[in-house]
Amino acid sequence: MKRLILQSLIDWKNRKRKPLIIRGARQVGKSYIVKYFGENYFENYVEINLEKEPEIIALFKSKKISQIIKLLEIEKNVTITSGNTLIFLAEIQSCPELFPLLQYFYEEAAGLHVIAASSLMEFLFEEHTFSMPVGRIEYMYMGPMLFQEFLAALKQERLIKFLNEYKIPEEIPESIHNKLMDLFKEYIFLGGMPESIASYLTEKSYRNAEIVKQSIIQTYREDFVKYRKRINYPLMVKVFNKLPLTVGRKVKYSNIDKEERSKTISDVLHLFSLARIIYCVKHSSANGLPVGAEIKDKIFKNIFLDVGLLLSMSGLTYNDLVYLDDTELINSGYISEQVVGQHLLYSQPSFYLPELFYWMREHKKSSAEVDYIIAERGTVIPIEIKAGKTGTLKSLHQFIKEKKSSFAVRINNDAPSLVQITNKLTTKEQITFKLLSIPMYLTGEIRRLINENYD
């Protein structure tokens, strides 16, 4: 299946490059895309799975890259040449001592293309005792498939072109809008895990796609055994099963387990974050850039790895989703925040660290909260996910007032629009700002549309 990260890999191949590390959760398609890239853009592709082929680790004992290459050529019966060969070190966390060797590939064989990947890379970085090859490697980040990648899998190339080229205030015909909303609901249920989408494309069965998603969820539970030296295994399972309760709302440890210490639950959530099962959305005061400079570590909410897996963990079926009208879907809270959050994380170029922030008013007895805030055009842009009239966006208005913002985004179920909003707060005070409203299926284009309409 076509993935957006492929173009980033092609760009990496064509310029002066360093060894590349691809970071992402299990089963998001890292190995698939690297194999596709290696087999279609190089004369020779050499894959070494360090988890399945531990005996090959002995070939890397020498720090002489020329010697390592000779041994790999013998082992894999292939010719390895600069510019023509891609070497893929899969599951590199199985052999952490290989990580420092990447700098020697850069220093002694700069023309050779080397990629390493692991679903547990964050654990390797947190626990490493080796010297990091600083300045000698590059990173790319990969998450679940986005809506436009889902459309590509459905061979809906015309719809992709339409979304990529759409400009405010062009009218979207009702029939196309309805088609995109229906496909987006389908995407929400199936989610962005490639295996789930592939199952549906092959068998045209939502039930079989659900079986795949449940299997992936169980795989994550079984992975917890790897962490049991750190945290009690039954507690990890308990917290994992409660994760849907932490999506789209401020995390309170007592809502997860009233009997367990907050520190222990925090440690479990940290492990899940390292494994990229969840992403921590931290509150920022949002007084300027960078947004992450003013975070409050103890005030956060989560989003899950993938919306389709989240629905499966919540016990929701496709029938539950398809009978929601568009307004109910937008205002469904955790579902809409999850799917928008996924796109904000991974609709950026793949070399950006995926991170998310939100804002809530830091005053007692205040409930003002903006779903997400992002940095664009040298300023902080608030994003609210809500159907209804502009006058109901009280939290957004509060943010605009306090931060003196001039631009905001609303994600809803209406036709796209850009309007100038003037709202009187008191007889002597009012706020004026531009409000860009877009339907959920345009979330992947949100940064482009902000930049095109900011001025």
- Total domains in the chain come to 2
If asked whether residues 134 and 152 sit together in one domain, one would say no
Same domain, 306 and 435: yes
- How far apart are alpha carbons 181 and 187 in whole angstroms? 10
If residue 211 lies in a helix (H) or strand (E), which one and from where to where?
helix 206-223
pLDDT, tens digit, 9 for 90 and up, residues 242-265: 998 889 889 999 889 888 999 999
Does 182 lie in the same domain as 133? no
Q: Quote the domain boundaries for residue 344.
A: 148-453
Q: Tell me the pTM.
A: 0.92
pLDDT tens figures, 32-57: 999 999 999 999 999 999 888 889 98
Is the pLDDT at 188 greater than 90? The verdict is yes
Q: pLDDT at position 431, please?
A: 85
Average pLDDT, the chain: 89
* Last residue in a domain, options 100, 116, 141: 141
- Asked if residue 363 and residue 296 are part of one domain, the reply reads yes
pLDDT at 128 over 80: no
124 with 207, same domain: the answer is no
112 and 157 fall within a common domain: no
Looking at the structure, tell me whether residues 302 and 184 fall in a common domain: yes
313 CB-side CA count, 13 A: 27
What residues contact residue 372 under an 8 Å CB cut-off, 6+ apart?
281, 337, 340, 341, 344, 356, 357, 358, 382, 383
Q: Do 173 and 132 belong to one domain?
A: no
Residue type at position 364:
K
Q: Which phi and psi (to 5°) does residue 297 adopt?
A: -60, -30
Q: Give the domain-ending residue among 141, 170, 196.
A: 141
Angle at which helices 174-190 and 334-346 pack, to 10 degrees?
Answer: 90
Phi first, then psi, for residue 229 (nearest 5°) are -70, -20
90 and 196 together in one domain: no
Q: Are residues 92 and 193 in the same domain?
A: no
Among the candidates 112, 141, 170, a domain finishes at 141
Q: Give the pLDDT band (50/70/90) at residue 110.
A: confident
- Residue environment code for 145-159, b if the CB has 16+ CB neighbours within 10 A, otherwise e: bbbbbbbbbeebeeb
Asked whether residue 334 falls in the same domain as residue 431, the answer is: yes
pLDDT tens digits, one per residue of 386-433 = 866 555 788 999 999 999 999 999 999 888 999 998 876 665 678 899
CATH of the domain at 103: 3.40.50.300
Check whether residue 108 and residue 12 sit in a common domain: yes
Q: How many angstroms from the chain centroid is the CA of residue 126?
A: 20
CA–CA distance, 34 with 90 (Å, rounded to integer) = 10
The separation between CA 320 and the C-alpha centre of its own chain, rounded to angstroms, equals 25
The side-by-side arrangement of strands in the sheet containing 278-284 is: 295-304, 278-284, 356-360, 369-376, 379-385, 407-412, 430-439, 417-424
pLDDT band (50, 70, 90) for residue 124: low
